[in-house]
Structure 1
Amino acid sequence: MAASHGLTIGYLAERTGLAVSAIRYYEAQGLVEPWRNTGGQRRFHRADLRRLSFIMIAQKFGFTLPEIRDFLKSLPGGRTPTKADWTNLSTAFRSHLDARIETLERLRDNLDGCIGCGCLSLPTCKLYNPDDAAAAKGQGPRYLMGDKPSETVNDGNSLPNDEI
């Protein structure tokens, strides 16, 4: 297909391995912006191959479509992104990816104790949370997410904060 006439949605699906319905969904979510030819058919820029590949990879890393949309907003509209444009996007993406990796490593390194003991009430558990003190810090497993307990455990077996 001649690039000057744009790429068909079928061609994009074939090249990326995505279903046509997925590409239409990404269009509806504002992740790709095709135009219509005189016959009313969608046409995509060749650069949309790279955008769709980025979307697929980012989703595999657990990023949501709104997060991916925010990353893609840094790319220019109306022209093919340059290497510099992609470098800027990848720099921002890398910092978010590094934070996600750090969280996953912390989870990996601390979760085995809880799975092994089966009890969240032992003073040595990394998730030990007397009186639900972590609830003030927000939803989810706050200590595995990086929050630190602000008080020592006092249940007769007081421990320093770094052992909680």
Structure 2
Amino acid sequence: MKSSGDNGASLMSIGALAARFGLATHVLRHWESRGLLHPVRDAGGRRRYGASDLTRVATILVFKEAGLSLETIRSLSATAGRAGRQGILRAEAEELRSRIAAARASLELIEGGLNCAYEDITECPNYRRRIAEQVVSRGGAVRPGKS
């Protein structure tokens, strides 16, 4: 994915591109080393970025904000078929659903503690239920509310 389609018009340096997105130049170099960016080089060997690179950096940032790893982003860009890309995204969606479920469970426990009338959070029914579930899931048995 070279920038040669930009016809040399308004090519920018690595510093200019990095500044445009509020990134350090080493980030762009790292992305290049991971196969995410492919800048053209001028006669002196310096990287030059065009309009397609602007789009590519914006795309990487959007995917990173969505929680995708650099490897997943690279795989998405390297996968030619729609079915392949959908497979990658399906796996990412499932992982995200799992993280969301874990975050909801964490929030429930924390909010239960905030709303607990007991002096000791370990005496709260919500906390005791979660502890009992943890013990049972690990192969033991315990009754909520009993020590």
Q: Give the TM-score normalised by structure 1.
A: 0.55
Q: Point out 4+ residue stretches in structure 1 off by more than 4 angstroms.
A: 87-94, 117-121
- Conserved? CA contact 1:71–1:92, under 8 Å: no
Q: CA deviation at 1:94?
A: 5.4
- Conserved? CA contact 1:9–1:42, under 8 Å: yes
Q: CA deviation at 1:36?
A: 1.8
Q: CA deviation at 1:104?
A: 4.5
- Per residue, is there more helix in 1 or in 2? 2
Q: CA deviation at 1:101?
A: 4.7
- Aligned residue number for residue 107 of structure 1: 102
Q: Which one has the largest radius of gyration?
A: 2
User: Quick one: higher RCO (CA 8 Å, sep 6+), 1 or 2?
Assistant: 2
CA distance in 1, matches of 2:17, 2:132: 46
- Aligned residue number for residue 20 of structure 2: 15
Q: Give the TM-score normalised by structure 2.
A: 0.60
Q: CA-to-partner distance for each residue in 1:33-69, whole Å, 9 max, x for gaps?
A: 1232222111234212122112212222332222222
- Counting only pairs closer than 5 Å after superposition, residues 4-153 of structure 1 correspond to structure 2 as 4-5=7-8, 6-74=11-79, 95=90, 98-115=93-110, 116-117=112-113, 119=122, 122=128, 124-125=129-130, 128-130=133-135, 133=138
The total of aligned residue pairs comes to 127
SS in 2 for 1:155: coil
Structure 2 residues not aligned, in runs of 5+: 1-5, 114-120
- Aligned residue number for residue 142 of structure 1: none
Structure 1 residues not aligned, in runs of 5+: 76-84, 134-150, 158-164
